[in-house]
Structure 1
Amino acid sequence: MISSTPRMSVRASRLSVFSGSGHPEAPVVTCDPCRFSAKTSNAVKYCKDCGGHFCIYCAKTHAKAPATRKHVQIAVTQETAPDKTLGRQKKMCQEHGAKLISFCESHDTLCCNVCVLASHRECAKVVPLSAVADRNYVFRMCKDLESAIKKLQNKFEDLQVQKLDFVKNVEEQTETLVTTVKMYRKSIDGILNKLEEAVMKKKDEYYFERTQQVNGQIKTCKTAINVLDEAYKEVDTTMRETNADMFVNIKRVQGVIGRYSGVLEKIGPSEKDGVKFVVDTNIERFLGGLEALGEILVEKNAARRDLSPSIASSRRSTGDNRRPNFTADVNVKLKSDRKTCFITGATFLFDGRLVLADDTNKCIKLFGSDFKPLTYVSTVTSPRDIIAISHHEVAATLPAEKIVQLLKISGRDIEKKKGFLLDIECYGIAFHAQDIYVTSGWSAEREIQVLAPTGELRRKIRLSKTVFRYPLYITVDPKTEVIYVSDYINGVISLDMTGKILTQCREPDTGCYYKGIEMTTSGQVYVCQWQQNAIARVHTDGRGLETVLIWDQKDRRKPLAIAYTTKTKRLALSFCGEKRDFLTLYKFY
């Protein structure tokens, strides 16, 4: 005897199980009309006449339709759930329960006899299914449907990838936002610290002034006490002398008493000054009236149609993976410049202002977010590289002096602050997690020095000559904490924070020299290929370099320094060819 267990197990997998009392629970069955309308509603009624399953709303419609008004509907149970009769039910009209026998070409719909009489009586092209369902035609339709389904499925898969990219991009942006907020908070703390220092300075000045004056009076009192003590002794001994000598001594002592009486009146008793701190309520009132440190602005970007992964790295493609587009050439020569500009370092502040290191004119230049010149400050020797370390501070390297120079930027002014003296000829500079990273450049040390904001040396990263020949420029990925160094000869080297080599990328020919290096917020690394007149994107997974910008050799544009701003997504490039007085701007669209 053949067991029916497999069949029962299949039904049990499609339907709900029986309750503990032994009575079947209502199974979960989809409403047939809703299912064909791309909806999902649970059926609660079963029509015994047409064998259809209906939700509460479709059941009411089914009961009101003239053709199915007399159909008998019962509650959905295990017995009424669809099973092997489902294939037969698919061939029945979902509205009237009758067999589908015709096709209306005018309305592109299948019809039963009731449908034809009720809704398609006036239609010109209602043909039997046998007439329209040619085998070859149906076969081609199935193939077309398969193709359409696959295309639609691929579009949903691409859209899913895009949405995942969007979520990842939002996550990266929020991490960058957190870093910016914390740095801004540090700037505010720095301002408050300076206000506190100003009050403490006034306190010290008051203390010095008052105590110095009173200490002088204390010395005068001490001298007076000693002199009067001697005068008292002299009066005591005068009684033994002659009248004339007594008279002389008395007059001298009287003079001493008169003199110091005048001193006493001049000094007088010290008044006890009441010193207290009167707060500037404007600060508290202003800060108390704020709801947040700033606003979060959402920049709407056009929807990206290209959903293919980027070939630049193993990371998924984002908007910044596209090739940068030329925007404009900006003249950076000032009226005070005596020589042609030679921009060896560039950095953007958080508000979009641009700071440049001009080697030949020995100065640091400040430009507004509209790239119009604001001011400059001269340096004793030529600056090399520059980096923003807060909203209002930058740090520049001065190789000839072995100094990292700090500069304060407020509004339209630049002010030099105290610098850090190093034991190497500092060249490239980067800033990460409140630490300053400096490369040794052309010197023989071949190392990276990590400095605290106070200039204290935290650690050194030294590598062999085969890796670090001439480590020039440097940047740090804040998310992965990977250090990228452009070595003049050995290409782009990536290291972890301990100095372990992760990747090394360079062109196979030995005539390619590497200069400025920069990272965008999406994790893309760009490096200047000086001899090739090109900008290359670094594959962060170590697969090599990809040229994204290149200039004709006749143009003599040799890219030297590079900077990126997240505010406007602009890439600024300086050249050491004939275009030295210009920066070229590119933008990611």
Structure 2
Amino acid sequence: MSVKQYLCGPCLEEKGEIEGVVYCKECEEPLCAQCKQDHLRIKVSKHHKLCDRADVPSQEIQELLKSLIACPNHEKEGVVYLCKDHDVTCCNKCAMADHRKCEEVKVFADILHDITLESTGLKQVLHDLQQQGERLLEHEQKHEELVSEIESKALSSLQTIKQRLLDIYEQIKNNVLSAIADKKKIIQDKIKENTENLSQFLIDVKQQSTYFENVEQFGTNEHVVLLQRRLKKDAVSRLKSIVDELEKHKSKSSFKCIEDTSLDSLLLEIKNSLRIKNFTCDLSKTGSDTGNNHNKPYTERIPELKSGKDLTILPMFDKAKFPDPVSCTWIDKYIVIYLRPDNVLLVIEENSDFVLSKFKCHSSSWSVSRTGPTDMVISMPHAHKIAFAQLRYGNIHVLTELKTKAPYHYVTKNMSLNQYICITKDIGQIDLLNNDGTLLRDISLSLDLKECATSLHTFCSFNAYYLMLVFSQGKSDKLVALNLNGENIFEYKHPDLRSTGQLAVDPMGNMYVRSFNRKVHQISPSGQYIRSLSFKNESDYPIGICFNSTFDQIALIDYRGGNQYLRVYTFT
């Protein structure tokens, strides 16, 4: 409040400037000591509320107080009545002019007590609104922090991709330069040998030519004729034989750099390997924070049951025909279950309770793997075939079949290089095929790894994040991982591992495999035990296991009491 506003109001009207010591709330002006005494003595103002100058409200509040007491229609008149019929305040003039016929026109002073009681609830409403606003403000601040954190993680992912690209480039460069050096040495050794033989040959020819020139120069005709006879009989025939051999063994070997995978396709795959997608989260929901769950490490996420289905009671599921589910694969919004020995694929929508379709394989199949957003590959080792199929609206369509030289049991795809990894269990052979089915190279295995690959109950999975194959030996207590050069990376042993079956891999490269104690082991990419995941139905026995495309849900095929169950868990 300015200095002028602290001057006594009545004195100021008399042209006197005396500082006020109190403030009258009803008169809305300061009072000096004398005017205060007069104020308390006069009957009209003796009950006015006075307050210290320090408690004087701000100019904004004073203006608000004036506006509240002023009649909406007559600025110089104060409100006297409250018309409940029209829910408006009014002065004497308004009451006489506009509200004479209203049934409930109350004197404002008479109903102040009731209004005061009502204000308690209003204060609570305003208090609640303030708290809600503060929570929303805190939410926005946390959301801003979350967006910054996501940005940091995206930048970190870019750095990781950059480093991995640089690492793989170094590997490619070293492999190419090493192969060039090896081939170049062989070719250069051959060139050196041929060069030395040719040099000796030319010396021999030159020597015979020199003999002939000298005999012509210094000898008689008889000498020339005799030398001609000797050259034709011995030297010339010998030199012709030598030059024919040199011609036959002249250098032909060379080499060239071939792109086994289309470079443009590979670069496109790399370009699309990381993308930004819209995502909705609500940081205010304690205990079900989608945003935080999405960013939790997979080593901290807990599986919670989302849905469960008894497969044996679903339509189109014949328990007599389909006694043995082997594996499951999550493609788009569908879960594909492979049933052996009848070689049938059942397609179930993730949120439905019935089988959408049933696909009968033409030949005895062995494994099914997802190779794209809606694509899959089916191995048919007994027919020496691979079937490339696609899932369309819940139905499986075979696009083409590839005849193979070897009976491949497990076929998966290295999508980063657009190559197929094919494993033959019978002889422990692993081949890499180009996208068109031509053989790129084979992977040599040691005797121990061959024995693992040919084990009766072996199941194989490809860890695309670390470019390694992982074998689970059904009747052994270990997993074996090897790189695409056939070198052993790690062996994971645990007494709980028996009949391990299908494996699953999360985006961090952690592996999930069932254990004999009916839990699922989570194993790091280096082969270290992380933890055992317990699921709600501990009496169940997981057989197949797979992730959805966003890796926030996991499906298990369970076995219990002769019945098969499909259970879907959400990671929180």
Which aligned pairs between 1:4-15 and structure 2 lie closer than 5 A? none
Which aligned pairs between 1:515-526 and structure 2 lie closer than 5 A? 515-518=544-547, 520-521=549-550, 523-526=552-555
Give CA deviations for 1:439-487 in whole Å, capped at 9, x if unaligned. 323142x2222333433222222112xx2122222233335x6432223
* Shift in alpha-carbon separation, 1:248–1:386, aligned structure 2, 3 A: closer
Q: In the alignment, which residue of structure 2 is the partner of 1:483?
A: 511
* Shift in alpha-carbon separation, 1:338–1:48, aligned structure 2, 3 A: same
SS in 2 for 1:95: helix
Q: How far off is 1:427 after superposition?
A: 1.4
SS in 1 for 2:497: coil
Does the CA contact (< 8 Å) of 1:442 and 1:471 recur in 2?
yes
Amino acid in structure 1 at the alignment position of 2:521: I
Q: In the alignment, which residue of structure 2 is the partner of 1:527?
A: 556
Does the CA contact (< 8 Å) of 2:518 and 2:540 recur in 1?
no
Which aligned pairs between 1:303-318 and structure 2 lie closer than 5 A? 309-310=287-288, 315=293
Cα distance in 2 between the residues matched to 1:188 and 1:151? 55
* Shift in alpha-carbon separation, 1:147–1:515, aligned structure 2, 3 A: farther
Q: Could you tell which deviates more after superposition, 492-501 or 199-208?
A: 199-208
Cα distance in 1 between the residues matched to 2:413 and 2:505? 12
Which aligned pairs between 1:161-200 and structure 2 lie closer than 5 A? none
Which aligned pairs between 1:54-93 and structure 2 lie closer than 5 A? 83=55, 93=65
Does 1:252 find its partner at 2:274?
A: no
Q: In the alignment, which residue of structure 1 is the partner of 2:334?
A: none
Q: In the alignment, which residue of structure 1 is the partner of 2:204?
A: 226
Q: How far off is 1:141 after superposition?
A: 7.3
Q: In the alignment, which residue of structure 2 is the partner of 1:473?
A: 502
Give CA deviations for 1:316-347 in whole Å, capped at 9, x if unaligned. 799x997642498466557xx334x56x3322
SS in 2 for 1:225: helix
Does 1:409 find its partner at 2:435?
A: yes
Q: In the alignment, which residue of structure 1 is the partner of 2:491?
A: 460
Give CA deviations for 1:21-47 in whole Å, capped at 9, x if unaligned. xx99xxxxxxxxxxxxxxxxxxxxxx9
Does the CA contact (< 8 Å) of 1:513 and 1:529 recur in 2?
yes
Does the CA contact (< 8 Å) of 2:545 and 2:554 recur in 1?
no
Which aligned pairs between 1:130-149 and structure 2 lie closer than 5 A? 130=109, 135=114, 142-143=120-121, 146=124
Does the CA contact (< 8 Å) of 2:82 and 2:106 recur in 1?
yes
SS in 1 for 2:227: helix
Does the CA contact (< 8 Å) of 1:493 and 1:505 recur in 2?
no
Q: How far off is 1:438 after superposition?
A: 0.9
Does 1:450 find its partner at 2:481?
A: yes
SS in 1 for 2:502: strand
* Shift in alpha-carbon separation, 1:164–1:314, aligned structure 2, 3 A: closer
Q: TM-score if structure 2 supplies the norm length?
A: 0.52
Q: How far off is 1:396 after superposition?
A: 4.9
Cα distance in 2 between the residues matched to 1:472 and 1:95? 80
Does 1:390 find its partner at 2:422?
A: no
Cα distance in 2 between the residues matched to 1:150 and 1:508? 43
Cα distance in 2 between the residues matched to 1:404 and 1:122? 101
Does the CA contact (< 8 Å) of 2:512 and 2:520 recur in 1?
yes
Q: In the alignment, which residue of structure 2 is the partner of 1:325?
A: 351
Cα distance in 2 between the residues matched to 1:482 and 1:197? 28
Q: In the alignment, which residue of structure 2 is the partner of 1:495?
A: 523
Does the CA contact (< 8 Å) of 2:294 and 2:552 recur in 1?
no
Computing the radius of gyration from Cα coordinates, the structure with the larger value is 2
- Size of the alignment, in residue pairs? 438
Give CA deviations for 1:89-127 in whole Å, capped at 9, x if unaligned. 599636366577655658867x5759979x998996775
Cα distance in 2 between the residues matched to 1:247 and 1:501? 95
Amino acid in structure 2 at the alignment position of 1:458: I
Does the CA contact (< 8 Å) of 2:83 and 2:90 recur in 1?
no
Identity of aligned pairs, percent? 11
SS in 1 for 2:528: coil
Does the CA contact (< 8 Å) of 2:514 and 2:542 recur in 1?
no
Q: Please, which of 366, 369, 372 is the counterpart of residue 388 of structure 2?
A: 366
Q: In the alignment, which residue of structure 2 is the partner of 1:95?
A: 67
Give CA deviations for 1:22-75 in whole Å, capped at 9, x if unaligned. x99xxxxxxxxxxxxxxxxxxxxxx99858xxxxxxxxxxxxxxxxxxxxxxxx
Cα distance in 1 between the residues matched to 2:184 and 2:527? 50
SS in 1 for 2:473: coil
Cα distance in 1 between the residues matched to 2:291 and 2:279? 23
Cα distance in 1 between the residues matched to 2:534 and 2:152? 30
* Shift in alpha-carbon separation, 1:308–1:224, aligned structure 2, 3 A: closer
Q: How far off is 1:84 after superposition?
A: 7.3
What root-mean-square deviation, in Å, do the aligned CA atoms of Structure 1 and Structure 2 show?
6.7
Amino acid in structure 1 at the alignment position of 2:200: K
Cα distance in 2 between the residues matched to 1:220 and 1:106? 124
Give CA deviations for 1:234-293 in whole Å, capped at 9, x if unaligned. 99899999x9974652332564898899999999xxxxxxxxx9xxxxx99x99xx9x94
SS in 1 for 2:197: helix
Does 1:431 find its partner at 2:463?
A: yes
* Shift in alpha-carbon separation, 1:308–1:387, aligned structure 2, 3 A: farther
Q: Please list every run of 5 or more consecutive structure 2 residues that lacks an aligned counterpart in the other structure.
A: 4-24, 30-51, 71-77, 247-255, 257-261, 297-302, 308-349
Q: Please list every run of 5 or more consecutive structure 1 residues that lacks an aligned counterpart in the other structure.
A: 1-14, 16-22, 25-46, 52-78, 268-276, 278-282, 542-589
* Shift in alpha-carbon separation, 1:434–1:523, aligned structure 2, 3 A: same
Q: In the alignment, which residue of structure 2 is the partner of 1:64?
A: none
Cα distance in 2 between the residues matched to 1:214 and 1:437? 43
Does the CA contact (< 8 Å) of 1:92 and 1:100 recur in 2?
no
